[in-house]
């Protein structure tokens, strides 16, 4: 499919020190606004054909990062390169061809589909805007898309409210696929769905990747689902990447204390009662006022003095793993 | 908190300045017309126009003109109408203001109490005959034109049945000042109040009912019921309290606009020489100084009620207080 | 029947509960002949997907459904008293005092314009004749009991000033305020992050031990059930299709729907599956529930007999509504869960 050398050298999209700040509560009084550090210094490469899972709790900045990567919001600093082209500050007009190549899928399929438009228009608009197909071929392409996402072609003439949640998410996927993108950023695409339907959509994501040669950034808070779909997983905490690595390796041997706590907190139906759970004290600190040293230091069971003073960098830790921790788990020093 | 209120007051002054500057520019700095001639009114003598030009400084730069105008309006308060032969404008407005305020305040009390009663009762008896009846009544209230309702009430109370025991208490048309006798003031205004309030009771009652019905779908209402609270407590302390937030917004808008002169029709029907009527007459005569004064007065009330609503918000909704 | 053994009488006994709603298209049956019991101090978990009727069941026990559009049938006895026949006034005295509700979304479960201390005190004062300050003092103690840091300061906070986890603790403190015998928790952790969810589940277990309240936990998350439940009822399309002790349900689930539910959760350790064994199709809407086994249209093992109402099979006190007999069940279960666990 893709040769290994190529994969190793050129990422499809890569972020360098990407940072996004929001200002809140700004009034006429000078200096009154406070800064939300939503995403801070994230450096991340996504390679062709892989699925990068992005996990974290609410407030971790994973959705903001996804939006910055697709340029749905502008980053405060840092750079973003898509297939060798710097798109950090490219204007809307210049972005149009890039927009076609990367698409976003959202959590709530009903909120992101205009209720007054038929599926044909919802999916077909982008095809026409980007000139993916012309004339008669548009119709054929729409029918093919419906087939790809597992819906009947007759559904093209229906309105979004006539569908169930799972079907709506399929329409959302069809809409994203309509422009033949290379990269899909999916933000919590299955978390609004029932368990039995969720499994169907998760499978659909996996099938599509192989069939259409897609690259995914899969953002979710559900660690089990992320494990199922991802080739690599990045863990975020309070706007920063704390750990990134190959999926199975990362789940089996987490090296950041936060990753370990997060994994242990997931309630599991299988091997009931056989796991020891780490219950973290307290809650995620406010992104308005993140801790000075390591962001996790306020809740970390192993925090030492250095952790409160100095922020650890995300450093390679062997076999494709990077960890942002002064004392990673499983190392001699820790 | 105090800072927030001061900030709001500063904003208010800024907005008022903006409005006055805008009004001034529209009236006196429109290219191609002579403002002095406009102030003088139709068919004015050439000497009058010249006198005005000098008096208002229309031969001097615009900021000076603006300053002179504001000085006449707020400091010396001797801005004079030329259409009405030297009538001073500010005292006119000051005389009309209490009349409008009396009318609108009374009507506002009626419509707030009335619409809350209608809304709450309808929401509590949702989908029953009572609810449907109230909503039809409210719709009738909304659809009756003020001038028609007012004239009808006048016809009934002033002529047809004036001599019966029902309406013999109704005094003749026109305003009776509060300090001359509160009881007479009250009797004069009862019917105008009701006339003006009917429309708003209808609108607010319907909106409030819809808000309450929507609020009843909320989780916190379920929580309140699951706590074992009585239905009336759930309604008043939880549902109504939340529904009052949009209610206050609407009220602030309507109240400000009415005090600013939008109660014109009611004023005319009941012979009340309020601000609405004053504005209307000034417009008919193209009495520029008077229009300027009433517009400033109206915008003052709109801005003040909006500021009050903002402050009231802080009181009723802790979420706007910030941290 | 239970008079002789009042010691063992269940706290809550629901027999043949049916609930229907009147809609534009006539009456729709949401709950069909549901029976279950809750013993004192027990955690019963009702599992099901959205639309399975699990919330509706509990809301109708508490009389919280709109009486104009909801029709409830059956017998519900709570500590020997019949809830469904009870006049509203009397039921209100029970709600919040003997039965506490913890609702799903802590973000919306509290009235935004009152402090949490005020809201807890309001509930205490609705049931007990105590002064405002005494009620507030109790509220502070409760907030401390559920692990809110600085409870004395927290009582003066408005809901929007607290994080989701803190709000859920406040909701739990409120539900506990009158020492209820029964806590009804409707998806109490669904809206929370995993690390916070772990804290809240831990809290619920601790409260059961400290306060001795029985808990009915409604959830769609098999993982959550596995963590806390003593007994488990699986609901599908308005019926309880399987009941049993938690160990039995997780070790030897009997209903094909339960198999599907368990198999469709991806594992967090062990080998990854090439694809998740999902249940095809989607749950029926209440208007379109088939007369026989409601799960049959999505069931891999459906047969002609499934068009009839399924029989109840039992193994001890583990029961299931399904035609499969014991022998065939074992084989088919291995074919579904075996491939999931051992692939």
In whole angstroms, how far apart are CA C99 and each of B29, B150, C94?
73, 56, 6
Evaluate whether residue B48 is within a structural domain: yes
Is C335 an 8 Å CB contact of chain B? no
Give the whole-angstrom CA distance, residue C19 versus residue A131.
53
| Residue B298: CATH number of its domain | 1.10.3720.10
> Which residue of C220, C268, C279 is in closest CB contact with A266?
C268
Instruction: Kindly state whether C198 is in contact with chain A, defined as any CB-CB distance less than 8 angstroms.
Output: yes
Any bridge partners for residue A13, and if so which? A46, A82
Q: Are residues B134 and B242 in the same domain?
A: yes
Spans in chain C with pLDDT lower than 70: 1-8, 339-343
Label residue B200 by pLDDT band (50, 70, 90). very high
**pLDDT range class, residue A28, cuts 50, 70, 90:** low
Lowest mean pLDDT among A44-58, B309-323, C152-166: B309-323
Taking contacts as CB-CB distances below 8 angstroms, the residues of chain A near B7 are 27-29
Q: Answer whether residue B8 is part of any domain.
A: no
- Whether residue B299 sits in one domain with residue B161: yes
**Domain presence at residue B14:** no
Q: Does A181 touch chain C (CB under 8 A)?
A: no
* Residue B291 sits in the same domain as residue B180: yes
Same domain, B287 and B195: yes
Residues B81 and B228 grouped into a single domain:
no
Asked, for residue B4, whether it belongs to a domain, the answer is no
Q: Report pLDDT for A298.
A: 92
Alpha-carbon distance of A269 to C157, in angstroms, equals: 37
- The three-state DSSP-derived secondary structure of A109-143 is CCCCCCCCCCHHHHHHHHHHHCCCCCCHHHHHHHH
Interface of C with B in 172-211 (CB under 8 A): 174
For residue B62, name the pLDDT band (cuts at 50, 70, 90): confident
Quick one: B98 and B236 in the same domain? yes
**Rounded CA separation C202/A224 (Å):** 21
| Partner-chain contact B7 A29, CB within 8 Å | yes
The domain of B256 spans: 93-320
Q: What is the DSSP letter of C193?
A: -
Predicted pLDDT of residue B204: 95
Judge if B84 and B110 occupy the same domain: no
Q: Are strands C214-219 and C43-47 parallel, antiparallel or unpaired?
A: parallel
Confidence (pLDDT) at B180: 86
Supply the pLDDT for residue A71. 93
pLDDT at position B36: 83
CB contact under 8 A, A267 and C223: yes
- Beta carbons of A272 and C246 less than 8 Å apart: yes
Chain B residues with CB-CB distance to C158 below 8 A: 318-319
Compute the average pLDDT of residues B116-140: 94
Q: What is the pLDDT of residue A7?
A: 47
Concatenated DSSP letters for C240-308? EEEEEEHHHHHHS--SHHHHHHHHTSPPSSSPPPSS--PPPS-PPPGGG--SS-TTGGG-TT--GGGGS
B7 in a structural domain: no
Quote the pLDDT of residue A31: 64
Q: Hey, is the C-beta of A195 within 8 angstroms of any chain C C-beta?
A: yes
In this structure, of A3-7, A321-325, C7-11, C54-58, the range with the lowest mean pLDDT score is A3-7
What is the structure's pLDDT at C343?
32
The answer to whether residue B181 sits within a structural domain is: yes
CB contact under 8 A, A283 and C163: yes
My answer on whether B188 and B62 are in the same domain is no
C chain contacts of residue A224, beta-carbon cutoff 8 Å: 265-268
User: Is C343 near chain A, with CB under 8 Å?
Assistant: no
> A243 pairs with which residues across the strands?
A235, A323
State how many domains chain B has. Answer: 2
Inform me whether the pLDDT recorded for B89 exceeds 50.
Answer: yes
- ipTM associated with this complex: 0.86
CB atoms within 10 A of CB B298: 23
Where a domain ends, among B89, B118, B146? Answer: B89
Q: What is the pLDDT of residue A4?
A: 44
Q: Give the model's pLDDT for residue C280.
A: 87
Q: Which residues in chain B touch residue C113, judged by CB atoms under 8 angstroms apart?
A: 241-242, 316-319
Please check whether residue C242 is in contact with residue C69, taking contact to mean a CB–CB distance below 8 angstroms. no
Contact B11 A27 (CB under 8 A): no
Is B5 within a domain?
Answer: no
Within-domain flag for B3? no
Q: Domain check: are B98 and B85 in the same one?
A: no
Same domain flag for B52 and B175: no
Q: Are residues B151 and B195 in the same domain?
A: yes
Q: Which of B69, B89, B109 is the last residue of a domain?
A: B89
Contacts of C109 in chain B (CB under 8 A): 219-220, 222-223
For residues B141 and B236, membership in a common domain is answered with yes
pLDDT for B1 equals: 65
Query: Distance between CA atoms of C246 and C73, rounded to whole angstroms?
Result: 28
- Of B35, B67, B89, the last residue of a domain is B89
Lowest-confidence region among A165-174, B277-286, C190-199: C190-199
């Amino acid at each position: 499919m893709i040769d290994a050398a190529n994969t190793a050298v050129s990422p499809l999209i890569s972020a360098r020190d990407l940072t996004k700040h929001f200002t809140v509560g700004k009034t006429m009084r000078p200096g009154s606004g406070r800064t939300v550090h939503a995403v801070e210094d994230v450096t991340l490469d996504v390679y062709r054909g892989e699925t990068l899972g992005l996990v974290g709790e609410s407030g971790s900045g994973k959705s903001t990062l996804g939006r910055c990567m697709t340029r749905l919001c502008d980053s405060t600093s840092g750079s973003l390169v898509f297939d060798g082209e710097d798109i950090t500050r490219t204007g809307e007009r210049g972005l149009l061809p890039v927009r076609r190549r990367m698409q976003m899928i959202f959590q709530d399929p009903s909120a992101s589909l205009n209720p007054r438009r038929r599926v044909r228009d919802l999916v077909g608009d982008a095809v026409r805007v980007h000139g993916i197909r012309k004339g008669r071929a548009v119709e054929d392409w729409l029918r093919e898309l419906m087939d790809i996402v597992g819906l009947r072609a007759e559904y093209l003439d229906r309105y979004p409210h006539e569908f169930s949640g799972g079907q709506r998410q399929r329409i959302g996927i069809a809409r994203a696929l309509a422009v033949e993108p290379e990269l899909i950023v999916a933000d919590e695409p299955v978390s609004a769905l029932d368990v039995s339907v969720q499994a169907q959509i998760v499978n659909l994501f996996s099938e599509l990747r192989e069939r259409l040669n897609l690259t995914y950034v899969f953002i979710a808070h559900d660690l089990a689902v992320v494990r199922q779909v991802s080739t690599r997983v990045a863990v975020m905490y309070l706007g920063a990447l704390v750990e990134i690595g190959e999926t199975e390796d990362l789940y089996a041997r987490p090296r950041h204390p936060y990753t370990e706590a997060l994994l242990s907190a997931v309630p599991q139906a299988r091997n009931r009662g056989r796991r020891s759970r780490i219950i973290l004290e307290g809650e995620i600190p406010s992104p308005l006022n993140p801790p000075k040293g390591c962001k996790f230091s306020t809740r970390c069971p192993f925090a030492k003095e250095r952790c409160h003073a100095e922020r650890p960098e995300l450093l390679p830790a062997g076999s494709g793993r990077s960890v942002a921790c002064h004392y990673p788990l499983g190392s001699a020093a820790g | 908190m105090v800072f927030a209120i001061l900030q709001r007051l500063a904003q208010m002054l800024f907005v008022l300045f903006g409005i006055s500057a805008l009004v001034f520019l529209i009236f006196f700095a429109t290219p191609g017309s002579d403002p002095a001639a406009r102030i003088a009114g139709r068919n004015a003598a050439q000497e009058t126009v010249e006198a005005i030009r000098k008096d208002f400084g229309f031969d001097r730069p615009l900021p000076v003109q603006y300053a002179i105008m504001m000085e006449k309006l707020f400091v010396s308060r001797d801005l004079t109408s030329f259409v009405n032969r030297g009538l001073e404008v500010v005292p006119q407005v000051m005389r009309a203001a209490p009349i409008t305020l009396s009318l609108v305040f009374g009507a506002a009390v009626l419509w707030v109490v009335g619409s809350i009663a209608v809304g709450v009762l309808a929401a509590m008896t949702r989908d029953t005959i009572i609810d449907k009846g109230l909503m039809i009544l409210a719709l009738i209230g909304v659809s009756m034109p003020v001038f028609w309702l007012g004239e009808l009430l006048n016809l009934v109370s002033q002529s047809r049945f004036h001599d019966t025991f029902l309406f013999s208490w109704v005094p003749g048309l026109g305003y009776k000042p509060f300090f001359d006798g509160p009881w007479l003031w009250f009797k004069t205004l009862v019917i105008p109040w009701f006339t003006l309030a009917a429309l708003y009771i209808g609108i607010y009652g319907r909106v409030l009912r819809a808000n309450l019905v929507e609020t009843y779908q909320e989780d916190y209402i379920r929580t309140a019921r699951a706590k074992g609270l009585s239905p009336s407590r759930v309604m008043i302390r939880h549902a109504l309290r939340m529904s009052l937030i949009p209610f206050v917004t609407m009220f602030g808008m309507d109240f400000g606009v009415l005090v600013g002169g939008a109660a014109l029709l009611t004023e005319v029907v009941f012979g009340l020489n309020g601000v609405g009527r004053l504005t209307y007459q000034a417009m008919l005569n193209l009495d520029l100084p008077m229009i300027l004064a009433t517009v400033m007065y109206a915008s003052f009330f709109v801005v003040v009620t909006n500021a009050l609503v903002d402050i009231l918000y802080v009181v009723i909704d802790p979420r706007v207080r910030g941290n | 029947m239970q008079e002789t053994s009042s010691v063992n009488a269940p706290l809550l006994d629901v027999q043949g509960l049916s609930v229907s709603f009147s809609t534009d298209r006539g009456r729709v049956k949401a709950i069909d002949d549901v029976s279950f019991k809750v013993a004192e101090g027990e955690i019963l978990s009702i599992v099901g997907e959205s639309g399975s009727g699990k919330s509706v069941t509990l809301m109708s026990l508490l009389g919280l459904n709109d009486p104009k559009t909801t029709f409830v049938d059956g017998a519900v006895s709570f500590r020997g008293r019949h809830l469904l026949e009870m006049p509203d006034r009397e039921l209100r005295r029970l709600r919040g005092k003997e039965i506490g509700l913890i609702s799903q979304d802590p973000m919306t479960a509290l009235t935004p314009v009152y402090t949490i201390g005020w809201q807890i005190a309001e509930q205490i004062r609705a049931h007990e004749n105590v002064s405002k300050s005494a009620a507030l003092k109790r509220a502070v103690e409760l907030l401390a009991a559920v692990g809110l840091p600085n409870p004395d300061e927290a009582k003066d906070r408005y809901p929007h000033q607290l994080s989701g986890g803190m709000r859920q603790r406040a909701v739990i403190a409120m539900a506990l305020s009158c020492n209820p015998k029964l806590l009804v928790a409707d998806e109490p952790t669904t809206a929370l992050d995993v690390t916070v969810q772990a804290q809240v589940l831990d809290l619920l277990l601790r409260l059961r031990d400290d306060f001795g309240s029985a808990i009915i936990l409604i959830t769609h998350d098999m993982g959550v059930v596995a963590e806390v439940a003593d007994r488990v009822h699986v609901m599908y399309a308005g019926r309880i299709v399987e009941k049993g002790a938690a160990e039995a349900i997780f070790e030897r689930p009997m209903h094909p729907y339960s198999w599907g539910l368990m198999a469709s959760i991806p594992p967090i350790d062990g080998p990854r599956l090439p694809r998740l064994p999902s249940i095809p199709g989607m749950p029926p809407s209440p208007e379109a529930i088939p007369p026989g086994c409601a799960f049959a249209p999505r069931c891999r093992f459906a047969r002609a007999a499934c068009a009839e109402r399924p029989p109840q099979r039992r193994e001890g006190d583990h029961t299931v509504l399904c035609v499969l007999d014991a022998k065939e069940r074992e084989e088919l279960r291995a074919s579904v869960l075996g491939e999931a666990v051992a692939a």
